[in-house]
Amino acid sequence: MKTELIEIKKQFGTFQALKGINLTIEDGEFVAIVGPSGCGKTTLLRLLAGFETPSDGQILMQQEIVASKTNALPPEKRNIGLVFQSFALWPHMKVKEQVMFPLKHHRFVRPELKKNSEARVTEMLNIVGLSHLADRMPSELSGGQKQRVAIARALSASPSLLLMDEPLSSLDAKLRVELRNEIQLIHQKIKTSIVYVTHDQSEALAMADKIVVMKDGLIEQIGTPEEIYFYPQTEFVASFISKANLIEGSWNGDYFSPSTSPSTRWYYPNVADSFKQSGVCPVRPEQLQLSKDSDGLCGEVKNLLFQGREVSCIVNVNGKEIHFITGIHNSLKIGDHVTLNVTNL
Amino acid sequence: MTGNSFNDETLDRYKSLNTKKKSSEWFSLLFKNKNLYLSLLIILIVFVIPVIRLFLMSFQANDSFSFENYTNILSEKYTWTVIKNTCLIVVGSTVISLIVGVSLAWIMAYTNIRLKKLMQVFILLPFIIPSYIVTIAWTQFVGNIKAFDINLYSMGGIIFVLGISHYPLVYLFTVNVLKKIPRELEWAVRASGGGQLKAFWHVTVPLALPGIVGGGMIAFLSNLDNFGIPAFLGIPSNITILSTAIYQEVIGFGENAFSRAATFSVLLAVFALFATGIQWFLLRKSKVTETAAADNSPRFYLCKSRPFVEFSIWLFIVGVSIVPLLSMLKTSLLKVYGLSFTLENITLHNFNYLLYDYDKVATALLNSLKLAGLTTLICLIIGTLVAYFRIRKPSFLTKALEVSISIPYTLPGMVLALAMIFTWMQPIPGWNPGIYGSIWILLIAYVTRFMILQVRGSSSAFTQISVDLEEAAHISGASTWSKWRYILLPLILPSVLSGSILVLLTTLTELTISSLLWSSGSETIGVIIFNFEQAGYTTYSTAFSVITLLFMGILAALVYGIIYIWQRSVRAS
């Protein structure tokens, strides 16, 4: 199902949570909405779900208007599923009853699913790997199992759009990586459109077909993970998604000279015009390398964080912290003076 | 494409996909904004208007507005005696409740005494048993103590019986707060070099204060509100306090009786509101550690003194709660009041007579049961809906609603009873539908007064359910009706019903409001016992009290049985 948002605005009292959002979610697409807390991503999801009514603009699902300023279809009348951050499993129902509930109540359930609802429940529990726990109560499940049940429940009625609201953020790190993989496999299997809200940029990069970066109620950039990561359009996207250092200096065509060492010239192609205009170069930590000659960013090592595969290094350059990554065999020590240059990865 | 018309058209088309109109559509209509606000407004009027009418009535003398009632009443010596009595009795009994309640709470919360659960049941007993029955029991008990000549029909007697009737309130408030004080805070004092006593004074006492103050204020208001005890003990001995003064004004039918009663009521209401104000002021800054879980394991280990402490508590509990009831039972079995308790004087005649010969008793039992049942049902439905909106849609309106529903309960019962007369005798001036003088006024008054109990019970049920669970139901396609039926009701029912039990048992044995609003044919349990007691039929009043306690026990067992079966079937299905 194709979903379109046209000039969506949302006002809470005097606070404008969304300031005009235009977005299309194609059929079968996995869209991740990412941004810091308070950027409006959850509001956007709640508008798609139907828990909120837009203050302005329209939401179309399959070319039908489901929400506008004057009217909004309630959630139960939209063909959607939702996975909550808190799992939201009903404490008085067994696992199989949770998954059965949408099959009984959803008006968009296809007749053949409704007829074979028992089989559908088994199928869904198989997909999330929980068929052996069908008779458990939610209180008897671990966090990861709970979220798997919630996913099975959200998908059992075969919705055309699946909304996921930070589904992994209440799980521990190991489970997060595990479920990340599983959600993607499920998406490949069922091919329904997914809107996935998260504040974790690595989740968005790993899972999505398309990433929407939001800030202060506006979309900063839409693109594939590669586009967003390698070619950020704004400073915010560069620092939030690619964790880039924003180095001040001057541009000359595709060449950049940092203001702390004007004689240095880095070849940096394909950078967005906005960076050229503001005289900033977004350099990702892995793009910086120690160099022997004295030309480049000069500074003093402030801290070294051993990460196993690499060492994350913080260098103080004229009072500004520059992050870069270096191999574990480098014998850097805190207090060392170093010179950094961009390598063209 | 002209924006809105297109929208509406497609929306309609979208909606017409789902033409299956369910019988439950009305239910979701209730949740539409306009209807919601209208019903909220009506509720607001029902709960607030009586108080306003009462207030206006107190300024009415000889059918015109004046301060005459106030100037007259405040210049009478009688009034000042009444106010002095009220202050002495209320403050005295509150002090007793506080001392007993706080000490028991500390011992129960922190020490390693045994059989705490059983103790707690007995501690709460005086709270569940109607205070007038406690009074009757105590008068019989004191009469049996031959060694001392104790006269309960005195100031001291009233203070004592009030105090032991309301200490469970202080106990309940304090014990919960005490258990929630994290023991690490006390350990932190010890680790910083302070002793046990320092920890007690610098951590336990300040942190428990909200509970102690809250419990003390509730006890204060309950003592102020109580009618049964001062009526049973004070009227025969000519000790009048504000609540009995209002009662006597109204049944005395003197000149300007209603206006004078209204004026006394305003005085009494001012006392109550003053206390509520102080409570609010003292508690406004305290943030009770709501989220902290109660810690039930002991913090102080009594060694040698444990049997002694346990024995003292049991002695106190049994002496205060059980023995008086046994004395009452003893009296109820006597052929004639005053005979000694020997085999030839024992008879079941009193019970026989009440249950089979004196038809007012059966009527009263039935009346009280009907009233309590209907009140509980109405409060259950409306109170739960109000609680839902209060918790889920917090706004100025819903907050105002909760406050206005709590007013009739905060006000002393006698004040509310009078307000009810003024409001429902002629709901619209000039039109008397005959509500006053029938059983319906009692129903309306009970609902008005006890609604807040259900609202509070249901509110706590809703706060325990995350909004996500409701949203998950909607996302899964459930209509408002299905959501309530399959998700909300199963989850809230146990705690909602425990609120209902409170409403049921309180209305079943209500006396204060009933004593003013009953009419021939609409007697309630409380009224019949009150009338027996006033007429001096002690064997009947004790026997009927015994019957009432059995009746309450059976009802509570029934409701708890239903909850138990429901919970089991929810789990099984």
Taking only the tens place, the pLDDT of each residue in B16-65 is 444 444 455 566 666 666 777 777 778 777 888 888 888 888 887 777 78
Q: Does the CB of B466 have a partner CB in chain A at under 8 Å?
A: yes
- Residue B432: its pLDDT value, please? 80
Chain A hits for B466, Cβ within 8 Å: 86, 88
Q: What is the pLDDT of residues A208-245, one digit of tens each?
A: 999 999 999 999 999 999 999 999 999 999 999 999 99
Distance between B291 CA and the closest CA of chain A, angstroms = 18
> What are the start-end ranges of the H helices in B464-536?
467-475, 480-482, 489-508, 512-517, 525-535
Find the residue in B nearest to A137 (Cα): B571
Instruction: Tell which of A6, A92, A98, A147 to mutate to test the B interface (max B CBs under 10 Å).
Output: A92
Of the candidates A206, A160, A204, the one whose C-alpha atom is nearest the C-alpha of residue A181 is A206
Pairing state of beta strands A161-165 and A80-83? parallel
- Residue B10: its pLDDT value, please? 44
- Residue B20: its pLDDT value, please? 42
Chain B hits for A64, Cβ within 8 Å: 10, 13-14
Instruction: Give mean pLDDT, residues B290-297.
Output: 70
Q: Does the CB of B567 have a partner CB in chain A at under 8 Å?
A: no
Q: Does the CB of B474 have a partner CB in chain A at under 8 Å?
A: yes
Contact A73 B486 (CB under 8 A): no
Q: What is the pLDDT of residues B447-501, one digit of tens each?
A: 999 999 999 989 988 988 899 999 999 999 999 999 999 999 988 988 888 889 8
Domain boundaries A3-227, CATH class: alpha beta
Instruction: Give mean pLDDT, residues B304-315.
Output: 91
Residue A53 — φ and ψ, nearest 5°? Answer: -110, 135
Determine what percent of chain B is predicted with pLDDT higher than 70: 92
Pairing state of beta strands A266-267 and A297-306? unpaired
Higher pLDDT, B259 or B449: B449
- Residue B21: its pLDDT value, please? 43
CA distance B531 to B235: 13
Find the residue in A nearest to B13 (Cα): A64
Contact B7 A71 (CB under 8 A): yes
pLDDT at A330 over 80: no
Using a 10 angstrom Cβ sphere, with 0-12 exposed, 13-18 middle and 19 or more buried, the burial of residue B162 is buried
- Residue B400: its pLDDT value, please? 84
pLDDT at B5 over 70: no
CATH 3.40.50.300 boundaries in chain A: 3-227
Domains and CATH numbers, chain B: 79-332 (1.10.3720.10), 339-573 (1.10.3720.10)
CA distance B369 to B373: 6
Chain B hits for A62, Cβ within 8 Å: none
Chain B hits for A107, Cβ within 8 Å: 17-18, 477
Q: Does the CB of A90 have a partner CB in chain B at under 8 Å?
A: yes
B535, two tokens: 């007429």
Distance between B520 CA and the closest CA of chain A, angstroms = 49
Of the candidates A187, A254, A246, the one whose C-alpha atom is nearest the C-alpha of residue A32 is A187
Find the residue in B nearest to A163 (Cα): B475
DSSP letter at B312 equals: H
Of the candidates A55, A70, A71, A69, the one whose C-alpha atom is nearest the C-alpha of residue A14 is A55
Of the candidates A108, A98, A91, A84, the one whose C-alpha atom is nearest the C-alpha of residue A158 is A108
Q: What is the CATH number of domain A243-342?
A: 2.40.50.140
B17, two tokens: 């996909």
Chain A hits for B471, Cβ within 8 Å: 49, 51, 75, 82, 84, 88
Q: What is the pLDDT of residues B382-402, one digit of tens each?
A: 999 999 988 988 888 888 888
- Residue B291: its pLDDT value, please? 54
Inter-CA distances, A249 with A255, A260, A339, B60, Å: 10, 8, 17, 85
Least confident of A71-85, A93-107, B245-259, B404-418: B245-259
Instruction: Tell which of B393, B470, B476, B491 to mutate to test the A interface (max A CBs under 10 Å).
Output: B476
**Do A131 and A125 form a contact (C-beta atoms < 8 A)?**
yes
- Residue B65: its pLDDT value, please? 81
Pairing state of beta strands A193-198 and A161-165? parallel
Q: Does the CB of B471 have a partner CB in chain A at under 8 Å?
A: yes
CATH 2.40.50.140 boundaries in chain A: 243-342
Chain B hits for A82, Cβ within 8 Å: 471-472, 475
pLDDT band at B3 (very low <50, low <70, confident <90, very high): very low
- Residue in B7, B473, B482 closest to A70 by CB: B7
Find the residue in B nearest to A64 (Cα): B10
Inter-CA distances, B399 with A30, A52, B51, B407, Å: 43, 23, 18, 13
Which long-range contacts does B546-551 make (Cβ < 8 Å, 24+ apart)? B546/B328, B546/B329, B546/B332, B546/B351, B547/B351, B547/B354, B547/B355, B547/B361, B547/B365, B548/B130, B548/B133, B548/B509, B549/B129, B549/B133, B549/B325, B551/B365, B551/B508, B551/B525
Least confident of A280-284, B187-191, B306-310: B187-191
Please give, one letter per residue, the 3-state secondary structure of B6-19: HHHHHHHHHHHCCC
Instruction: Give mean pLDDT, residues B554-572.
Output: 78
H or E element at residue A41: helix A41-49
- Residue B9: its pLDDT value, please? 45
B45, two tokens: 């009027």
Q: What is the pLDDT of residues A42-67, one digit of tens each?
A: 999 999 999 999 999 999 999 999 99
- Residue in A65, A75, A87 closest to B475 by CB: A75
B450, two tokens: 């006890």
pLDDT band at A150 (very low <50, low <70, confident <90, very high): very high
Distance between B467 CA and the closest CA of chain A, angstroms = 9
Contact A157 B476 (CB under 8 A): yes
CA distance A15 to A13: 6
- Residue A283: its pLDDT value, please? 93
Q: Does the CB of A106 have a partner CB in chain B at under 8 Å?
A: yes
- CB half-sphere exposure, A281, CA atoms < 13 A: 28
> Mean of the per-residue pLDDT values for chain B?
85
**Do B307 and B112 form a contact (C-beta atoms < 8 A)?**
no
Chain B hits for A74, Cβ within 8 Å: 474
Q: Does the CB of B14 have a partner CB in chain A at under 8 Å?
A: yes
- Residue B16: its pLDDT value, please? 42
Distance between B494 CA and the closest CA of chain A, angstroms = 12
Contact A90 B13 (CB under 8 A): no
ipTM of the complex: 0.83
Q: Does the CB of A108 have a partner CB in chain B at under 8 Å?
A: yes
Number of A/B CB contacts below 8 angstroms equals 93
Find the residue in A nearest to B8 (Cα): A71
Q: Does the CB of B33 have a partner CB in chain A at under 8 Å?
A: no
pLDDT at A276 over 80: yes
Find the residue in B nearest to A87 (Cα): B468
Least confident of A258-267, A334-343, B64-73, B487-496: B64-73
**Do B196 and B150 form a contact (C-beta atoms < 8 A)?**
no
> Mean of the per-residue pLDDT values for chain A?
91
CA distance A96 to A153: 9
Instruction: Tell which of B10, B395, B474, B475 to mutate to test the A interface (max A CBs under 10 Å).
Output: B475
